[in-house]
A = this chain, B = another copy of it.
Amino acid sequence: MTSEFSLIDQFLEPFDRRGDGLLLGPGDDCALVQISSGMSLCTTVDALVEGVHFLPDLFGDEEIGHKALAINLSDLAAMGARPRWFLCSVACPNDQTRLSRLPGIARGMAALARRAHCLIIGGNFTRADRLSLHITAMGEVPIAQALRRDGARPGDHLFVSGTIGGAALGLQQFLKGELPDQTIRQRQCRPEPRIELGLIARQFASAAMDISDGFLQDIGHLGARSHCGFEIDFSAIPMEPGIVAAGFSPPWALRGGEDYELLLTVPPAKADAFVDACAAKNISVTHIGAAREETQIHWKNAPKDLDLAAGRGFDHYI
């Protein structure tokens, strides 16, 4: 049994990993390369595949286009980058059912692109058995302000944006044949990349990442890259309202994926100013704990059944 992460490591093995201009290679939300004195280009690629990342009968055309771009802009946000440009590689079956969805997909993508001031600059069309969209997004971030995963230090305050678990709840309801309510549908089908939060956070935070594979898995990645652990107050985590009413447990929500919220660590001396800056822009962030020396997660106020061994998030290959 091969995990997605060992596949990535194995794939990268034969490649040169260092070179002129490379500031940060694979392993973070984005790569960083130097493009001029003090400024870096921040790039990421992510795919949305029919039947894997979206259910073709349940997602609207515009939702598909929105989500394909949003998951990439979320990676830029997690680095504190300002979105600039993107390229979209479309694979589409040569049948009228799928081809007729492309204009709506483009409209959904274009609406988000316009709001994010991110220009489409290129792309590709190819035939394939399933509809899929592979987007490469590029942004700019001052080198000194880029929010990497490896910057958290013991004592830094831990924040999370928005709410957790809504996207997973939406997917579960779709799979059970139920229709999620409007809020939950948005969380699954129209995740909102936290671009403005990233631009604020880059002035304060020591590290950041977006939550795409589930809170529990991703907090583990953040700790691993920063060589630290976390103390987390379980009861402080902003769960999506309706998780329990829908019959799911909060720990289940922490294993769900696709939240596209940001995890952020902020040095104690800057935490108040960060909270104030977010409040001034009406951006929801919640203080849920702190980074610590010991590399495990130490939970406060956690339910007894919080099974961390089963705390894996989404993996394509297990």
Any B CB within 8 A of the CB of A219: no
A residues 63-121 touching B (CB-CB < 8 Å):
84-85, 87-92, 94, 99, 102-103, 105-107, 109-111, 113-114, 117, 119-121
Any B CB within 8 A of the CB of A158: no
User: Is B317 touching A127 in the complex (CB atoms < 8 A)?
Assistant: yes
Q: What's the tally of chain A residues with a CB closer than 8 Å to chain B?
A: 71
User: Is B126 touching A14 in the complex (CB atoms < 8 A)?
Assistant: no
Which residue in B16, B46, B53, B111 is a CB contact (below 8 Å) of A113? B16
Per-residue CB contact flags for chain A residues 139-160 toward chain B (1 = under 8 Å, else 0) read: 0000000000000000000000
A52: shortest Cβ distance to chain B, in Å?
5
Q: A16: which B residues are within 8 A, CB to CB?
A: 110, 113-114, 119
Q: A4: which B residues are within 8 A, CB to CB?
A: 125
User: Is B122 touching A45 in the complex (CB atoms < 8 A)?
Assistant: yes
Q: A53: which B residues are within 8 A, CB to CB?
A: 126
Q: A49: which B residues are within 8 A, CB to CB?
A: 91, 126-128
Any B CB within 8 A of the CB of A26: yes
A103 to B9, CA, bound (A): 10
Which residue in B11, B26, B88 is a CB contact (below 8 Å) of A103? B11
- Given A123-B26, A128-B52, CB of A91 within 8 Å of CB of B31: no
A228: shortest Cβ distance to chain B, in Å?
24
